[in-house]
Amino acid sequence: MTGVTRHLFLICSMCVVTFQLLAQNRTVQVLEEGWAFKKGKSSDAFKVQFDDSKWEQVTVPHDWAIYGPFDKDIDKQNIAISQNNEKEATEKTGRTGSLPFIGTAWYRNTFEVPSFETGKTVILLFEGVMSEPEIYLNGEKIGEWKYGYSYFYFDISNALKKGKNTLAVKASNPEFSSRWYPGAGIYRNVSLIVKNKESIDQWGTFITTPLVSDKLARVNVKTQVSGEKITLKTTIYDADKKWVTTNSSTTQFGKSFDQNLKVEHPKLWSPETPYLYTVVSQVYVDDELKDELTTRFGIRDIKYTAENGFQLNGKTTKFKGVCLHHDLGQLGTAINKAALRRQLTILKDMGANAIRSSHNMPSLEQLELCDEMGFLFLAESFDEWKKPKMKNGYHRFFDDYAEKDIVNLVHATRNHPSIVMWSSGNEVPDQWGAEGLKRAKKLQDIFHREDPTRPVTVGMDQVKAVMESGFASLLDVLGLNYRVHLYEEAYEKFPQGMILGSETASTVSSRGIYKFPVVQGKGKQYPDLQSSSYDLEACSWSNVPDEDFVLQDDKDWVIGEFVWTGFDYLGEPTPYDNYWPSRSSYFGISDLAGLPKDRYYLYRCRWNKKEETLHVLPHWNWEGREGEITPVFVYTNYDSAELFINGKSKGIQKKNKDTPQTRYRLMWMDVKYEPGTVKVVAFNKGGKPVAEREIKTAGKADQLVLSPDRKIIKADGKDLSYVEVSVVDKAGIPCPIATNQLKFKVTGKGRYRAACNGDATSLEQFHLPIMKLFSGKLVVLVQSTKEAGKMELTVSGKGLKTAKVILSSKD
Ligand code: GAL
């Protein structure tokens, strides 16, 4: 290159840089790397932040408590759980997961805002900090929040200085503040948004679809802006990024623009067709582009009517839903999109179409995925209002924060088509008393004010009380938690003309564990602290799935259910709240590792109408039970089936309406155990054999089988492959009771992240590369690095052939 051309080249490359800076009128920087973390309290907040000792390097999202160790004394609660109808206080261990989340910790990060001098607006956005965060910038406190589940932000434009800025976040978790494992620390994203003064306000767009038909949709876009003399150009693009329509407006109502756009022949959003459009909002001042924001939305119509229940795009749709806690099992609460996507993939296969975020604000990532994958969403705000459930619960903040928390929930999430209902509370003790009534009204009014398009419910358990007080009558949607025996009465007495099973079942089971004799029971306990997978055990206040199914199927006015819960979660180990070791729930349809329990197939055969389900239980390795009664259950979408034990027929069972169980399950109650083969042949309505399944008694555990959910993952340092590890005998028959201790090693462009076996009584730490199989299985998580390439997981165990699987990552 000559001197002249070199000079020109430099000028040109400078032009490119300048141009890029100018064109980037809004930048969003997610602060993931470079965080320092330390635990411990100090009375001198300034000193802690600038004392350089004892910081540990972490990435955010981060959950400081998930690494354990489990300890029965953490947050030990000596209480009577009133929701569980307990009258006397007893010692509860494991209620909040027995993980070390109590206490205070600090996070610190240093960042620079390059265009700071140019007078930009800088927003610091937090999507969730557990809990009671205090935010400091360069040593000065700039704000705080209380609720660990809220999204919140601060305008830090005036607090920033040129060059390096030091951000510090203090998080504190008091004891007796939660009924489950809440996690600890900055467990959701933090971002820095830099934009011009003339720009769209944070969460300033609100897109609704007030008119929807096959031919035409009216899309209403309300946009809140800062600045004057603005021209707002709003453009809709379809899912292929093709232009659909544009509206330009200079008509500003104070801070707001209100535009209507026509979409002809719209593609409607639904769980089956999760079609997404985008709105691009551009702010111009004197023809100069000042801000640009892209927001995804869906065109769909929702109605709730006494005559037809919930209508989605004109079609009666029942909620086939599950409640989910926010923890991601072995990852704790640190948000991870791959983990969320896997949960939803499992739920899709089961045929679920809805999620309730119990009992708090969902992550934004979860909502994005629900929009994309097609799930209806019931977004909940609180588990407590003003009357306490927990000594240090949300009631301490209710007066000052309830409105702010709801406003932020609605503003941050209202453009997600998946959200079709809000819930202002779950089983709040305020169901009792006149004040509670006023609070219910006030909160519902706030939701209505902020979002007139979606109804509000409360998950209610005090059905008699809310019938008398009128509490339930004022709600848009009547949400009942359990209490199936009161549905009819509630339907008669309340004005809404429909009932939602806002929480149903709470059946308990441990994957692969079966108890004898097989009889239905409430609050059953066993010496091994496991519950039976015959799916006949519930709590004193709850019921088995079939009892809900009867109401869902026979009553048009029941608009669906949200089963407690889709997955096991950390904490709340009912029915073993008083026993140690027991640190996670038994309620899940799938276990804590995401492995389906038998119950999964009971729901699948109802909900997944597209695929065949033919599932047989229990396993057939019962050495010592020879000759003893060992009932066989089959969960299938077929009407009848014949059972064969070692080739001998045990007769045909046909679904019938004698009891809720015989209506939904095929059961052979008097089968005597003998080792060998269990075969089931299913028949269609015409009595023709159409499908069969076989399970066999396994011999000694011999080899490991590794099955990754995804073999190719993204090289972003966050993506995960979930590798299911199981063990089989020499003939390849799965060993259903194996508990071998296994070791894991990952080499190449990946790292071992965590493992989980779904055993609620295991005290093994998830992040250590060693764990026992539970009922013959566990799951290992392999995480990508930022470098693309191959990675190899090796799993070994004493007396077993070592197994390997090669995975790869791509940019
Ligand atoms: C409900 C409550 C849930 C969970 C469940 C267990 O009453 O809303 O949070 O505790 O019971 O059955």
To test ligand 1's pocket by mutation, which of 503, 522, 541, 574 has the most ligand atoms within 8 angstroms of CB?
503
> Which CATH topology does 302-506+541-569 take?
TIM Barrel (3.20.20)
Residue 317 Cα to ligand 1 middle (Å): 25
How confident is the model over 350-355, as a mean pLDDT? Answer: 98
Beta bridge partners of 223: 205, 257
Residue 792 pLDDT > 80: yes
The pLDDT score that the predictor gives to residue 83 is 74
Q: Read off the pLDDT of each residue in 180-204 and give the average, rounded to a whole number.
A: 97
Q: Which is the catalytic residue, given 503, 561, 642, 674?
A: 503
How far from 351 is each of 514, 565, 603, 610, CA to CA, in Å? Answer: 25, 15, 8, 9
Closest to 604 measured CA to CA, from 634, 627, 632: 634
> CA 771 to CA 757: how far, in whole Å?
8
The CATH number of 703-810 is 2.60.40.10
Burial 291-314 (b: 16+ CB within 10 A, else e): bbbebbbbbbbbebeeebbbbbbe
CA distance 458 to 469: 15
Domains 302-506+541-569 and 614-696 share a fold: no
Whether the pLDDT of residue 1 is over 60: the answer is no
Contact partners, residue 146, CB within 8 Å, separation at least 6: 131, 132, 396, 397, 400, 401
Q: How many angstroms separate the alpha carbon of residue 541 from the centre of ligand 1?
A: 9
Torsion angle in degrees (nearest 10) through CA of 153, 157, 158, 163: 120
Angle between helices 364-373 and 337-350 (to 10 degrees): 40
d(CA 631, CA 515): 10
CATH class of segment(s) 614-696: mainly beta
Query: Residue 801: pLDDT above 70?
Result: yes
> For residue range 353-394, what is the model confidence (pLDDT) as tens digits?
999 999 999 999 999 999 999 999 999 999 999 999 999 999
Is 674 considered catalytic here? no
Other residues' Cβ atoms within 10 Å of the Cβ of residue 317: 21
Separation CA 85–CA 83 (nearest Å)? 5
**How many angstroms is it from 527 CA to the middle of ligand 1?**
24
What confidence score (pLDDT) does residue 323 get? 98
Whole-angstrom Cα distance, residue 318 to residue 321?
9
Query: Does pLDDT of 117 surpass 80?
Result: no
- Whether 24 has a pLDDT exceeding 80, the answer reads no
Degrees (nearest 5) of the Cα angle 441, 445, 450?
155
Q: How confident is the model at residue 52 (pLDDT cuts 50, 70, 90)?
A: confident
Rounded to whole angstroms, what are the CA distances from 579 to 95, 208, 526, 530? 10, 50, 11, 11
Distance 491 CA to ligand 1 centre (A): 22
Q: What average pLDDT score do residues 55-59 get?
A: 96
Ligand 1 pocket test: pick from 96, 564, 572, 574 the residue with the most ligand atoms within 8 Å of its Cβ. Answer: 564
pLDDT of residue 7: 39
User: Is-contact 108 166, C-beta < 8 A?
Assistant: yes
Ligand 1 atom nearest 426 alpha carbon: 8
Q: How large is the average pLDDT for residues 212-223?
A: 98
Paired sense of beta strands 456-460 and 477-481, if any: parallel
Would you state the pLDDT for residue 9?
35
The correct CATH number of 9-196 out of 3.40.50.150, 2.60.120.260, 3.30.479.30, 3.20.20.80 is 2.60.120.260
Taking the CA of residue 459 as reference, the ligand 1 atom at the shortest distance is 8
Q: What is the DSSP letter of 363?
A: P
Q: Which residue has the CA at smallest separation from atom 12 of ligand 1?
A: 506
Query: How confident is the model over 288-299, as pLDDT tens digits?
Result: 999 999 999 999
- Residue 538 has a pLDDT of 98
- Ligand 1 centroid vs 82 CA: distance in angstroms? 11
**Residues sharing a CB contact under 8 Å with residue 466, sequence separation 6 or more, in sequence order:** 431, 460, 472
* Rounded Cα distance, 23 and 625, in Å: 74
Q: Residue 790 carries which side chain, given as an amino acid letter?
A: K
Which residue's CA is the closest to the ligand 1 atom numbered 6?
506
Q: Can you tell me the distance from the alpha carbon of 402 to that of 405, in angstroms, rounded to the nearest whole number?
A: 5
Choosing from 365, 427, 537, 561, the catalytic residue is 427
What would the pLDDT profile of 77-111 be if each residue is shown by its tens digit?
A: 898 887 778 888 999 999 999 999 999 999 999 99
| Nearest atom, ligand 1, residue 359 CA | 9
Q: Give the pLDDT mean for 703-724.
A: 98
Q: How far is the CA of 505 from the centre of ligand 1 (A)?
A: 10
- Ligand 1 center to 326 CA (angstroms): 14
Centre of ligand 1 to C-alpha 629, Å, is 34
Other Cβ atoms less than 10 A from the Cβ of 388: the count is 15
pLDDT band at residue 411 using 50, 70 and 90 as cut-offs: very high
Task: Out of 24-28, 454-458, 563-567, 595-599, pick the least confident.
Answer: 24-28
The whole-angstrom separation of Cα 621 and Cα 675 is 7
What does the pLDDT look like over 490-517, one tens digit per residue? Answer: 999 999 999 999 999 999 999 999 999 9
User: Closest by alpha carbon to 512, among 594, 579, 598, 430?
Assistant: 598
Best substitution site from 322, 458, 506, 562 to test ligand 1's pocket, by max atoms within 8 Å of Cβ?
Answer: 506
pLDDT band at 53 (very low <50, low <70, confident <90, very high): confident
User: What class does CATH assign to 199-297?
Assistant: mainly beta
Q: Rounded to the nearest whole angstrom, what is the distance from the C-alpha of residue 516 to the centroid of ligand 1?
A: 27
pLDDT tens by residue, 614-668: 999 999 999 999 999 999 999 999 999 999 999 999 999 999 999 999 999 999 9
What is the best residue among 79, 427, 522, 542 to mutate for testing ligand 1's pocket, by most ligand atoms within 8 Å of CB?
A: 427
Mutate to test the pocket of ligand 1, among 81, 82, 83 (most ligand atoms within 8 A of CB): 83
**Ligand 1 centroid from CA 358, angstroms:** 9
Whole-number average pLDDT of the chain: 95
| Nearest protein Cα to ligand 1, atom 7 | 83
Q: Is the distance from CB of 76 to CB of 93 less than 8 angstroms?
A: yes
The stretch 123-148 carries a mean pLDDT of 97
134 is annotated as an active-site residue: no
Q: Which residues pair with 293 in a beta bridge?
A: 281
* Interatomic CA distance for residues 333 and 345, integer angstroms: 19
Q: What is the pLDDT of residues 429-463, one digit of tens each?
A: 999 999 999 999 999 999 999 999 999 999 999 99
For residue 383, report the distance from its CA to the centre of ligand 1, in Å: 10
Q: Write down the domain spans for the chain.
A: 9-196, 199-297, 302-506+541-569, 614-696, 703-810
Q: Which amino acid is at 385?
A: W
In angstroms, the CA 784 to CA 791 distance is 8
Res 49: pLDDT: 81
Q: Can you read off the two tokens belonging to residue 201?
A: 């306000």
Confidence label for 54 from pLDDT (cuts 50, 70 and 90): confident
- CA distances (Å), 776 to each of 108, 114, 593, 793, in order? 43, 55, 13, 19
Question: What distance in Å separates the CA atoms of residue 789 and residue 808, rounded to the nearest whole number?
Answer: 5
Per residue in 537-591, pLDDT tens?
999 999 999 999 999 999 999 999 999 999 999 999 999 999 999 999 999 999 9
pTM, rounded to two decimals: 0.96
Task: Note the pLDDT of residue 12.
Answer: 35
| Confidence band, pLDDT 50/70/90 cuts, at residue 44 | confident
412 neighbors 203 (Cβ within 8 angstroms): yes
Using CA atoms, how far residue 618 sits from 350, 632, 673, 694, in Å, is: 20, 6, 11, 12
Give the residues surrounding ligand 1 with Cβ less than 6 Å away: 83, 359, 426-427, 461, 481, 503, 506, 539, 542, 564, 572, 574
Q: In this predicted structure, what is the pLDDT of residue 317? A: 98
pLDDT at 76: 94
**DSSP 8-state code for residue 268:** B
